[in-house]
Amino acid sequence: MDKLRQIVAESKSALKKADHLAYVTYPQVKEIKLLYLIAENIYKALTKSMEAVLYYERLYKRIPVLPGPFDYELELFKEKCLQRYNIDRSVVLLIKDLKSLIEAKKKGPVEFSRRNKFVICSNDYSMKVLDIQKVKNHLYNAKAIVERVSKVVRC
């Protein structure tokens, strides 16, 4: 149970960092690259929440113990946990969206800011765009999900 509490605490900590960056630091500094850092913390909070639910399910032997790649765990979370705990299905789309954004940043050759937006280009120049409103919307959705997960696992 201590590991479960630790995972939930890490999730809440990442969400708190993202919230502080979005609502306190970004308005003061106006550094566009902070948008990516906020999105990265939201992604960490959501993945840790997913990990907490899967760990909780493994404790009660409802799902297999074998850990798999991230996509396998996301699918397991979607199929076995969302309906059982009444978690909105949009969480899976949000996690996938943020994961693709982070991967695009790691692999992409070009990133720049333009008109208060952070733009990440891939090798074929398809673009991923972040602005403060989109990040705040993701943060709002993530808060609801993390809160729901902490109630589910009672931490």
What is the model's pTM? 0.93
Q: Is 80 exceeded by the pLDDT of residue 66?
A: no
- Vertex 147 angle, CA 146 and 153, to 5°: 85
Element (H, E) at 119: strand 117-121
Per-domain residue ranges for the chain? 2-88+132-152
Nearest CA to 84 out of 73, 76, 72 is that of 76
* Residue 120 and residue 113 in contact, taking contact as beta carbons nearer than 8 Å: no
* Residue 113 and residue 142 in contact, taking contact as beta carbons nearer than 8 Å: no
pLDDT in tens, 23-48: 999 999 999 999 999 999 999 999 99
